[in-house]
Structure 1
């Protein structure tokens, strides 16, 4: 773990230096459809069984794998899912040519970036003689894009982008041609033409929005990529937020923005200090003090998707906000979950119409050191604490303070 922490520092420096890198920024989500012949499925299953690794057969034979990829500069974070499940199967993290494959459920980290590291990992985790089949040095080679041939008469409209078809002939033994639909109008930065997970997604010609090929073992493979252009939150905190055996989304990783709260709690404060949080659906954090001096009270409500009393209070909070819209701002702070996509769906399902955000670990510990929810904090417009605690039987008292400041 000591070496890993040191590595994070190095990554942070690298990422800061490359922060100005321009090129593609956004989210790519693709669903891959793979069709195997029945006899090939049987052979693959038996091969993994012979190796004592039957659990990997399901991953290899997955016919509907989905991957969500966040790209910012030369950094990438990808989450893979299988068979429409919500659990993340694997995470891919990359900054420049340094990368990791992470398996959250087992806490496994597979390093990429140095030949020696990769070879050592394979020696420790592979029973067979992998050196007869794998040349790790090849992993560092960027795809030879000179071998990509544009088929000028082949075009297709994908998500409103006119895509041109390119063919790639791999010169490796037993390889088959691959076809890629590329949106040439979407620019890609030079620093983004990298090996590992960037290749065949971002190319010198543009962004790949579709791919397909056939082979002896795979009767047909195809994938379509949904593209969302726009600002992406810094990616390095995602890696810092991953703990062995668990996964926190970036919105809960607030070590970089709330370090001043470490070791403190609200019980020792009369005026709350400034802090930051990620609003739901926004890629950048905002400051609490953005609401200072607005002439309105601020109600911070800490909640979680699994908290029954919290859910019971939602209609009360909604009504409180509607009745006092001129004098009250409400921000719900989700502090008991770990997945932003699940939380967003929950918010929509429960008609939580007031502002919502995520409470990072440091912020949650500061506001609610006893870790009991529901828990609210009422502030005046100068950030003075006017009420704090479990609101269960006190909503009338809270509203009275708002109406009679």
Structure 2
């Protein structure tokens, strides 16, 4: 695919994510106390969407995708490189407020778990390292690495709003995913991570 066409596709997909927005934990200004009528019930066959911060186990047992992601120098890898170790993959972006809010808790988790759990934060910023590396430098992260997926393979391929975090076991099979921010240094996260790290 020609670079110009690829860039245009990535831009359109990125705009779709931006318009869809990252999952918000709090109501937007002007929505508090809104007495709008409740939404009509979903049809019997439709599944209700997973609320932000809730665990979704509907993909349990699915193999990790083989999408490539890159370090700041452009060296690529895939999730398969981490086979043998449980992986917590977080999809985020510098423009997503809930993503930025949870990043320090992911840093604390990576420090606490050491080699027992690989914590991968994969940016979905279209500018890739140009946005991610300065953010990491300002934040002072030492345990997390500034991985990037500027072509949005993960968020589009998984149909994921940001932030989305997926736990894979040591064999590369999905255990669960969380849509929305979570305190990854807290007790609830430790209990959930125990499902793969035992």
User: If the length of structure 1 is used for normalisation, what is the TM-score?
Assistant: 0.33
Among 297, 318, 324, the residue aligned to 2:86: 297
Cα distance change of structure 1 residues 241 and 269 upon mapping to structure 2, 3 Å threshold = farther
Residue 148 of structure 2 corresponds to: 358
Q: CA RMSD in A?
A: 2.9
Residue 241 of structure 1 corresponds to: 6
Aligned residue pair count: 148
User: C-alpha distance in 1, partners of 2:59/2:174?
Assistant: 11
2:164 is aligned with 1:399: no
Among 379, 382, 400, the residue aligned to 2:171: 382
On the 8 A contact 2:60/2:175 being kept in 1, the answer is no
User: C-alpha distance in 1, partners of 2:111/2:192?
Assistant: 16
2:79 is aligned with 1:288: yes
Cα distance change of structure 1 residues 279 and 242 upon mapping to structure 2, 3 Å threshold = closer
User: C-alpha distance in 2, partners of 1:352/1:362?
Assistant: 24
Q: Structure 1 or 2: larger strand share? A: 1
User: C-alpha distance in 2, partners of 1:242/1:319?
Assistant: 35
Residue 307 of structure 1 corresponds to: 96
Gaps of 5+ in 1: 9-237, 249-265
On the 8 A contact 1:305/1:337 being kept in 2, the answer is no
User: C-alpha distance in 2, partners of 1:307/1:287?
Assistant: 24
Deviations 1:83-132 (A, max 9, x none): xxxxxxxxxxxxxxxxxxxxxxxxxxxxxxxxxxxxxxxxxxxxxxxxxx
Residue 17 of structure 1 corresponds to: none
2:51 is aligned with 1:278: no
State the 1:364 CA deviation: 1.8
User: C-alpha distance in 1, partners of 2:163/2:70?
Assistant: 19
Deviations 1:290-321 (A, max 9, x none): 1112xx22011111111111111122111111
Gaps of 5+ in 2: 14-56
Deviations 1:182-214 (A, max 9, x none): xxxxxxxxxxxxxxxxxxxxxxxxxxxxxxxxx
2:136 is aligned with 1:331: no
Residue 349 of structure 1 corresponds to: 138
Q: Structure 1 or 2: larger helix share? A: 2
SS of 2:114 mapped into structure 1: coil
On the 8 A contact 2:132/2:148 being kept in 1, the answer is no
User: C-alpha distance in 2, partners of 1:388/1:276?
Assistant: 17
State the 1:350 CA deviation: 1.7
